[in-house]
Every structure is written in C-alpha cells, then in structure tokens.
A and B are shown apart, each in its own frame.
Chain A
Amino acid sequence: MNWIKRNDKFLSVVAVLAGSVLIWELLCWLLEVRVFILPAPSRIFLEIVDTPIYFLSNAGFTLMTTLAGFALAVILGVVAAVGIVHSVFLERTLYTLLVALNSVPKVALAPLFVIWMGTGSEPKIAIALMIAIFSIVIDTVLGLRSADTDMINMARAARATQLQILIKIRFPMALASMFAGMKVGISFALIGAIVGEFVAGETGLGHVILLSQGMFDTPRVFAAIFILGAMGTILFYIVEAAERFFLPWHVSQRGYSGGH
C-alpha cells in the first residue's frame, strides 16, 4: 500500500496510457479499421520489433541532432542572456532582434539552412538550436533580472564584485526560470531536428516518416511517431530530474516536508 501511495502519480500516468492503448487496440479490432488508415498498437509494436536496427539507427541520429542543438542552445542562450542583462547596448540590439525573430514562424526558415549548410547533420542541429534558443534566452533573462534587490544589496554591502554577484546570487536565483526555459527548449529542439529531417536528408525519424508516408506504410509512420513521443517524454523528464537535482531548495520542489 505504501509503495502505491508513494508512486500514485507515476501509477496514474501508466494507467491512463495503458488504458488508452487498450481502447485503441480494441476499437481497431472491433471496427476492423484498415491498417493504412490506423494500425492497431500491436501492429505498430510488431513493426518496431521486426526492424529494430533500422529504427534504432534513425532514432539515434535524431537524438544526436536534438541533443547537440539543445546543448548549443543552452550554452549560447545563457551567454546571450548574461550579456543582455549586463549591457544596455546588447539589450537594445540583441534582445530586440531575438524578440523580433521569435515572431517569425521559425519552421519557415528551415529551407534556408539547407541552402547554407547542405543536407548533413549540421542544418538539423542549427534548426534545433534556432527553435530551442528563444525560450532559454527569454526565461534566463527573466530569471537573472528577478534577483531580489535586498539580496544584491546584502552582497554589495559585503563587498562582493559584480562577477561574484552574478555567479553566487543571480545565477542560483535564476535557475528555476532557466529550467522552465530548458523544459520548453528540449521539446522545441526535437521539433527542430524533425523539421530539419523533413526538409532534406537521408536519415533520422523525420526522414523515416516522410519516406513511409510516400509508400503508404502507415504502421511505419506510427512506429516512428511512437518512438519520437517516447523520446520527447524521456528527454523532458531528464531535464526535470536535473532541475530537481540542482534546485532541491526551490519552493516548487520542496513540497510540505520542510519549513515552519
């Protein structure tokens, strides 16, 4: 009983997902839906099991470009945010440009990257980076700016330098906001990678979907979508686990265990 209580959130997620798959399966059999319209979950599962290496290598490519794009987005995004917070010039120029660019549907820019960078993994990484970076920059700027003035005054009164205030006060204070940006960013990076594969290329799950669609191989399309869904979910929860690891003090993580 205790185990169930402790994991009730996780168990309810599993129950909802398993229930939905079961209903889908039953409906496909009962209504005799044709496979190329909507394959049953069991059929999709068989598709993956039949050619595991094929899916694995394509998923690996997509995962690699997603992670590379995301990592670059985090590094460049945080550096840009620090610059924007500390320099009026960068705020007026870079931040303004970023916000303006953010209003352009970034998917529409994807073909340009193929022109500039070819059909290898580089344009996919670049597109993932471009789509993921906005939420990271904007949330990091927000977080760095939200630092408590009393806390900054306390540090200044203790003769802290601007750099020390940034590292020891502003950054830890901004982490919660930065993770909010990264949780959005990791999902966006995956979207960027797939968009890149849609536009051009011979590998990746996006390419698998396009290729199978051309052959009306619906089970294979669904298999790729299923893997993408699983990948996105796992990546999201990895970022969330990192958040819990780095922010054990944060109110949103603390629950009711501490405090008076």
Chain B
Amino acid sequence: MSKNDCYVSIRHVGKIYPSPHGEVTALQDINLDIKNHEFVSILGPSGCGKSTLLKCIAGLEKASQGTIEIQEQTVSRPPDGMGVVFQRDILLDWRNILDNVMLITEFRRLHREQYLDKAHALLKRFGLEGFENRHPWELSGGMRQRAAICRALLDDPELLLMDEPFGALDAMTRDDLNLELARLWQDTRKTVLFITHSIPEAIFLSDRVVVMSRNPGRIDEIVDIDLPRPRKLSLRETPKFGEYVAHFRHRFAELGIVKED
C-alpha cells in the first residue's frame, strides 16, 4: 500500500490504565492501517477496548505505547477533518435540532450562513426535514441519532469515527440506519471506522472487519468482506453473507467469548 492510500496508521498501540487492583491492559500491540475511502469495522465483545481505540484515534485519549498517524500526522489532539458519532446521541437538550447540527460552526467560528444550506440538506437526507425547530426530547431515539450523524457530517469530514452508533436502537431502526449509512458511504466514500458488537452489521457495512478479543484487548484477525456494492438488506439472506456470519461466530466461540454449551 502506498503511503498516500493510507489514511489512518496505527502502530504498536497499547493502552494501560492504572486501577486499584494493579494495571489493566486495555489495548495490546494494535497494528492497523485504514485506507482512504475504506469502510472498516471493529467487531468485538464489550470490554475488548474497541471504544478506547476509537478515543485514541480521535485524539480524546493518549495511547500508552505506539503511535497513531492520520494522514502522516501524529495524533496528539482531535485532528481536523474528523467527525465522531458516539453511542449516545448526546444532543444538547437546550438547542433545537438545527442548532444542534450547527454546533461545530460555533466551536470553529465558521460562518453560519455558509453552513445553513448544508445543514438543511443533511437533515433532509436523513429524513429530519420539518424537525429543525423541534427539541431533542421531542424526537424518537432513531431520529435523535440521525441528528447526531448530521452534526458529525456538517463540515464534510474525510474521516468518520462511529462508536457503536446504533447499539441503543431497536432492530428495525437499526436496519434502516444501516441502509442509510451504506448509501451515504456509497455517495461520499468517506473513510469510516465503525465500532460494533453486531456481526451482521459489521459484515453488511464494511470492506474489512477487524475482530478484537479481550483480556487484553488485541486484534485477533482482519477479514476482507468480498460482497458486491451497493448493498441491500436482502444481501443478508445470501449464502455468502451467511458464510461470513458463520466464520465470525465460530471465531468468537473459539476465543471463548460466545460459549454454546
């Protein structure tokens, strides 16, 4: 892979937390390259350090060992050109939906007028047209998470980090948002790092799936997902999709994370 193709480069990253019972190794020797325009999912059980890894990439936490580079720049604080979507929508209750989406224009002193059209277009794309003046508490969980995605996309970041964004949603809303995210990626080809503990979700969305195991959190394997795009929900009923699901399930059973008997 040539250097320019590589958007995020993670080298020998480790994270150690002090705790009352001694040091806890949250991440151990993580090596991963995320290519430009690639959709990579990190799949793993809770406690495998996948959220910690995302926080380190986002510059919200410092890795104890190793380096993380984004576009050949070492990450020491939240970099430019990055949008983050968290598991909780964390919309600000005192702002309406439009002002929540516009939040970063205030943080970065951007011209509000220039981004208003962009905000309206995003809200329309995610089915929130007409809800601009509503407050977060008036919206359902799925709509709130859609608004949070719009907020992260407002200044068109090249890199999108998503930390189990659909984990708290019901299955149907989750399917719906998976489709919308797949479509968004198809249209914009952003570099996406997506964290999930859902096997079908990871396969459906990704070019590559990184399997992590816990105690300590490390990369177990990286699997290329060779399925045609654009993807539809019916893809999940195909034999090839089923093979991938079976492969990951088997792997988690071998790792002792899922025990069938």
Instruction: Enumerate chain A interface residues (CB-CB to B < 8 A).
Output: 148, 150-151, 153-161, 164, 168-169, 172, 247, 249-250, 254, 258-260
Task: Determine whether the beta carbon of B90 is less than 8 Å from that of A258.
Answer: no
Beyond A151-B90, A159-B108, A247-B94, list 5 extra A-B contacts (CB 8 Å): A150-B88, A153-B84, A164-B107, A250-B93, A260-B141
Q: Which of A153, A154, A156, A260 has the most CB of B within 10 A?
A: A154
Contact of A254 with B84 in the complex, beta carbons under 8 Å: no
Given contacts A150-B86, A151-B90, contact A158 B103 (CB under 8 A): yes
Cα A160 to Cα B161 in complex, Å, equals 17
Contact stretch, chosen from B115-123, B131-139, B182-190? B131-139
A249-B55 in contact given A156-B78, A158-B103, A258-B137 (Cβ < 8 Å): no
> Complex formed: what's the CA distance from A254 to B90 in Å?
18
Q: How far is the CA of A156 from the CA of B108 in the complex (A)?
A: 11
Cβ of A159 and Cβ of B137 under 8 Å apart? no
Contact yes or no, A164 B106, CB < 8 A: yes
* Residue B82 at the chain A interface, CB threshold 8 Å: yes
> B138 contacts which chain A residues (CB < 8 A)?
258-260
CA distance in complex: A172, B95 (Å) = 10
Whole-angstrom CA separation of A258 from B106 in the bound complex: 28
Q: Could you say which residues of chain A place their CB within 8 Å of the CB of B137?
A: 249, 254, 258-259
The answer for the CA separation of A188 and B93 in the assembled complex, in Å, is 31
Task: List B contacts of A172 (CB < 8 A).
Answer: 92, 94
Q: A249 to B104, Cβ gap below 8 A?
A: no
The residues of B that contact A260 with a CB separation of less than 8 Å are 138-141
Give A115 Cβ to nearest chain B Cβ, in Å: 46
- The 8 A CB mask of B113-157 against A (1 = contact, 0 = none) is 000000000000000000000010111110000000000000000
For the complex, is B80 an interface residue (Cβ under 8 Å from A)? yes
The answer for the CA separation of A258 and B96 in the assembled complex, in Å, is 14
**B60 in contact (CB, < 8 A):** yes
CB-contact partner of B82 in A157, A247, A249, under 8 A? A157
Binding site secondary structure of chain B: loop
Complex CA–CA separation, A259 to B144 (angstroms):
12
Q: A159-B107, A164-B107, A258-B137 in contact; A150/B90 too (CB < 8 A)?
A: yes
| Smallest CB separation, B104 vs chain A (Å) | 5
Total B residues in contact with A, Cβ cutoff 8 Å: 26
CA distance A249 to B136 in the complex (A): 9
Q: Closest CB of chain B to A252's CB: distance in Å?
A: 12
Contacts of B82 in A (CB 8 A): 157
User: Which single residue of chain A is at the shortest CB-CB distance from B139?
Assistant: A260
**How far does the Cβ of B53 sit from chain A's closest Cβ, in whole Å?**
14
Q: Which residues of B contact A151 (CB under 8 A)?
A: 90, 92
Q: How far is the CB of A13 from chain B (nearest CB, A)?
A: 29
Complex Cα distance, B92 from A151, in Å, reads 8
B92 / chain A contacts, CB cutoff of 8 Å: 151, 168-169, 172
A247 to B84, CA, bound (A): 28
**Is residue B56 contacting chain A, with contact meaning CB distance below 8 A?**
no
13 contacts between A and B (CB under 8 A): A153-B86, A154-B86, A157-B58, A157-B84, A157-B161, A159-B80, A159-B108, A168-B92, A249-B135, A254-B137, A258-B135, A258-B137, A260-B141
B148: nearest chain-A partner, CB-CB: A154
**Residue of chain A at shortest CB distance from B144:** A260
Q: Which residue of A lies closest to B136 (CB)?
A: A249
- B55 neighbours in A (Cβ, 8 Å): 153
**B84 surroundings in chain A (CB, below 8 A):** 153-154, 157-158
A148 touches B90 (CB 8 A): yes
CB distance from A167 to the nearest CB of B (A): 10
| Distance of A159 Cα from B154 Cα, bound (Å) | 14
Residues of B within 8 A of A156 (CB): 60, 78
- A169's nearest neighbour on chain B, judged by CB, is B92
- Taking each of A151, A155, A157, A260, which has the highest tally of chain B beta carbons within 10 Å of its own beta carbon? A157
User: Which residue of B has the minimal Cβ distance to A172?
Assistant: B94
Q: Are A249 and B93 in contact (CB under 8 A)?
A: yes
- Docked Cα-Cα span, A249 to B93, in Å, equals 6
Once A153-B60, A260-B140 are accepted as A-B contacts, the answer to whether A158 and B90 lie under 8 Å apart by CB is: no
Least CB distance, B152 to chain A, in whole angstroms: 8
Closest B residue to A259 using CB positions = B137
Q: How far is the CA of A260 from the CA of B169 in the complex (A)?
A: 14
B70-84 residues at the A interface, CB under 8 angstroms: 78, 80, 82, 84
